[in-house]
Structure 1
Amino acid sequence: MQKDLFARIAIAQIPKILTLMDRNPHSPTYGCCDRAFWHYKILDFPSGMSQEFVWCLALAYATNCPDNPYYQQPACRDWVDAGILYAARSAHQDGSCDDYFPFERAGGAAAFSLLACIESYALLDLDNPAMLEFFARRAEWLAHHDESGRLTNHQALIVLCLERLGKLLSTSQWDRAKSRRLERILDWQSEEGWFPEYEGCDPGYHTLTIACLASIYMQRADERIKESLIAAVDFAGQFLHPDGSYGGEYTSRNTYNFFPHGFELVGKWYPDALRVNGGFLLGLERGLGPCYWDDRILGHHAWNYLLAWRDFVAERPPAAPRSRGRLWFQDAQILIDRRADSELYLALNKGGTFKLFRHGKLIASDTQFSLAVRQGNKLQNAVGHLVDRYDVEIDGERICIRGHLGWAKQTQMTTAKLIILRLAMFGFGRFFPNLIRRILQKLLIVGKKQAPYRFQRILHWQDDRLLVSDTLHAQSWNAVERVGIGCDQTSIYVVMSRTFQRGQLQPWLDLSTCARACSPAEPLRCDREL
């Protein structure tokens, strides 16, 4: 059956999850899922996000699908129990947890792992008052915690946690906090249907927000949530590529995320959602799914895939023909152009980063100019794909984008920086974790520092051929050592970006020789026909 693909992919990750978990009941870290902490001993605190893995184990225990060796295995149940107790034992007194540095009190890690613990507790019908007391402490902290940055998926996760725990404990304690956050989510949603993540629209994280809102709607039928979900699903459906892949570097957070569970839930009453999942399943069958199976993030997709298997809708509508024409999402600053044989996905707020498909296959992925520039003893990277307000002209078959390159965010940790961060967090930082988080976001994620290189990108349709004309101006080419255009370059820190997807096998276009041939005031030009 087609739905078994979801379970097969997720179940294949359980051995890795069990390897990441301390399964020794005599160990002081029994149940810890952060192997770097308990086994390698290269970290001085465990990541609270890792305890999210308990939900994957609980679902594997409860999922009666073909070739699932974990189904109804008592050992899996014991390990889930241990994982929840370790989440409680390793939490701060207020119920919060850390993710990247001590005393961080990370909202995302707390929400992901709490939801996993609550759902695992309910699914396995556990009975432990100490666990419930921990759930309540963490929920109380989440209810009153406001993190820096606009991350709608975190807001939706928190609402879902409070909703599920309120029902489990038969309490209305968090009703006001739920309503406040839900209003925030609905208010943040663009009229185009998408939810913001940091600096703009990321269709990948958008599907996680859909999954959370769909689960909330299953708990309480609110007409506003239903209308929001319809708009969100319709928007998401536009970013399913003709080959079944989804998202990529032209989105605000550069992710290939796709969380299918929400589409199955919405599909029970809005069949178009099932068409989106059907297209994504075809992409998985073709091997076009991204690789999200690293030590920190494999849990998100594993439990979501198992939920999609569990709630898979048997009666599905036939695939609909893909609409033709131009869609310009002006708020998201993304343009989609669908023609007889071609589809273009273009980010106007990322310097014209794009993906082009022809006859259902990816033929070009382009993440704009990238320069390696010598500055003293260091090589700095100037790039054209950072989020910014660029000068955009759209005139029929011609699209022109102009602006400046920006300096890539390439800050790395050093021994000195780690020591300073630890001292800061053990000193004043523990009292102001949001301030530290805001500083790190500025350094690693948001904002653009302009580089002294101006570009112009013109995309021009001639029948079904796309002509791309790039021009790059420099005050001097002396410091520029290498120039190229890559298929998958990103330059901000996002935990779920820079994953591998098969479309990234395309080679870079090396323009270094052309740049060296330019006189000091002469622009670099590159013309291509795609």
Structure 2
Amino acid sequence: MSEMRARLYRLGAQSLAKILTHQDRVPHSPTYGCFDRNFWHLRITDFPSGMAQEFVLPLALAHAHPFEGNPFHQNETIREWIRAGIAYAALSAHKDGSCDDYYPFEKAAGAAAFSQYAMLEALRLTGLDPVPFLPFLKLRGDWLGKHQESGRLSNHEALIANGLLRLAVLSGDQDFAGMAERRVERLLSWQSDEGWFFEYQGADPGYLTLTIANMAEIDALRPDQGLRPAIGKAIDFLAGIQPPDGWLGGEWTSRNTNNYFPHGMEVCGAWHPVALTVNDSAVAAMDPAPEYDDDHILAHHSWSCLKAAIGWCATRPKAAGALPEAGLSIRRAGASTLLVATKKGGSYR
């Protein structure tokens, strides 16, 4: 288990140096703080992607938490670059607080939600003064709270609700808490009786782990919302479909992704232990892990892996089918069953 936790730290931290190469770190530059290198450096695009400002969150996690091989911990220069990243998000946003992602005037809810969540978390983790950024964060929060995408992307809906609730805590404005509750109600209406939440037209287990993570964080802030039955049902769905090799991504999912976001399963493991069993199998399968180092969205998995490692539950459920006193281990995959006698040198049937 300690090796899997170390693996998560490595997976989360391996992109930190690259993230810095994406940022304009020259203080007198007009694009100081921008993480979209295609815009400020390569000049491939004539507008910055708002999603890129999400990169402040992996840096903030590394700044706030010590772990092996982490030179960013309590580094004041890193803290300044995080502040610059939040400032540039405010500078480059549209007048209504929204931002673009892949094309100009797109006003992408996903980019706005991911970067908003990242900035709110970065402010909390680093202790930066939020006051200069509150007008912008509230403007974006108001836009996110009222904007509705055309498709059903449950992970976006959960992320928007999570960000709105965190903004309500930071700003003291309970209107954002009301917006969050309405978005949660909408999200719950998208849950199948089978436990999964819609990603466009179907079930995507990888993105479902991000939906679960955001719902888990909302539950931690507002247990009165009563989200645990819905979260537990979603986790049970994942446990029921998880293949023998543990990996939940691939072309059989609704969005054909190899995504897996582990941090929410650790949060839920305290009250729903099967989440840890799912996480153990999935993290064990990340050897080697999928290639997540896409320049555009490399922060997604970086901060999720770091959060999972930081919040790792020390007490894990026993492996399914393991009977150590009897010296037996049982593994089932579909119609096949493997019986192993661990006290007889590995005799099996």
Partner of 1:338: 334
Partner of 2:342: none
Partner of 1:306: 306
> What 5-or-longer segments of structure 2 have no aligned partner?
322-329, 339-349
Partner of 1:462: none
Partner of 2:38: 36
Equivalent-residue separation in structure 1 for 2:320 and 2:337 (angstroms) = 16
Equivalent-residue separation in structure 2 for 1:128 and 1:282 (angstroms) = 39
Equivalent-residue separation in structure 1 for 2:174 and 2:276 (angstroms) = 34
> What per-residue deviation string (whole Å, max 9, x for no partner) do you get for residues 168-200 of structure 1?
112211233222211111111001000001111
Partner of 1:79: 81
With over 3 angstroms needed to count, the CA separation of the structure-2 counterparts of 1:341 and 1:254, relative to structure 1, is farther
> What per-residue deviation string (whole Å, max 9, x for no partner) do you get for residues 277-327 of structure 1?
11122112x31x211111011111101111111111111111113885xxx
Equivalent-residue separation in structure 2 for 1:263 and 1:10 (angstroms) = 16
Shift of 1:128: 4.1
Equivalent-residue separation in structure 2 for 1:62 and 1:223 (angstroms) = 29
Shift of 1:58: 0.5
More helix by share: 2
Native 8 Å contact 1:21 1:35 kept in 2: yes
State the number of aligned residues. Answer: 329
Equivalent-residue separation in structure 1 for 2:290 and 2:117 (angstroms) = 24
With over 3 angstroms needed to count, the CA separation of the structure-2 counterparts of 1:223 and 1:31, relative to structure 1, is closer
Partner of 2:295: 295
Give 1:120's match in structure 2, choosing from 119, 122, 130: 122
Q: What letter corresponds to residue 338 of structure 1 in structure 2?
A: G
Q: What letter corresponds to residue 317 of structure 1 in structure 2?
A: P
**RMSD, matched Cα:** 1.6
Q: Secondary structure at the match of 1:55?
A: helix
With over 3 angstroms needed to count, the CA separation of the structure-2 counterparts of 1:196 and 1:307, relative to structure 1, is same
Partner of 2:269: 267
Native 8 Å contact 2:246 2:278 kept in 1: no
Native 8 Å contact 1:4 1:65 kept in 2: no
Q: Secondary structure at the match of 1:238?
A: helix
Shift of 1:129: 2.1
> What per-residue deviation string (whole Å, max 9, x for no partner) do you get for residues 338-391 of structure 1?
12169xxxxxxxxxxxxxxxxxxxxxxxxxxxxxxxxxxxxxxxxxxxxxxxxx
With over 3 angstroms needed to count, the CA separation of the structure-2 counterparts of 1:221 and 1:38, relative to structure 1, is same
More strand by share: 1
Partner of 2:65: 63
> What per-residue deviation string (whole Å, max 9, x for no partner) do you get for residues 231-279 of structure 1?
0111122343322322210111001111001100000111111111111
Return the structure number with greater relative CO, CA threshold 8 A, min gap 6.
Answer: 2
Native 8 Å contact 2:196 2:234 kept in 1: yes
Equivalent-residue separation in structure 2 for 1:228 and 1:323 (angstroms) = 28
Task: Find the structure with the greater CA-based Rg.
Answer: 1
With over 3 angstroms needed to count, the CA separation of the structure-2 counterparts of 1:249 and 1:76, relative to structure 1, is same
TM score, norm. by length of structure 2: 0.91
The answer as to 2:135 corresponding to 1:139 is no
Equivalent-residue separation in structure 1 for 2:195 and 2:163 (angstroms) = 23
Q: What letter corresponds to residue 11 of structure 1 in structure 2?
A: A
Consecutive aligned runs of 4 or more in structure 1 exceeding 3 Å deviation: 321-324
Partner of 2:48: 46
Give 2:180's match in structure 1, choosing from 178, 181, 186: 178
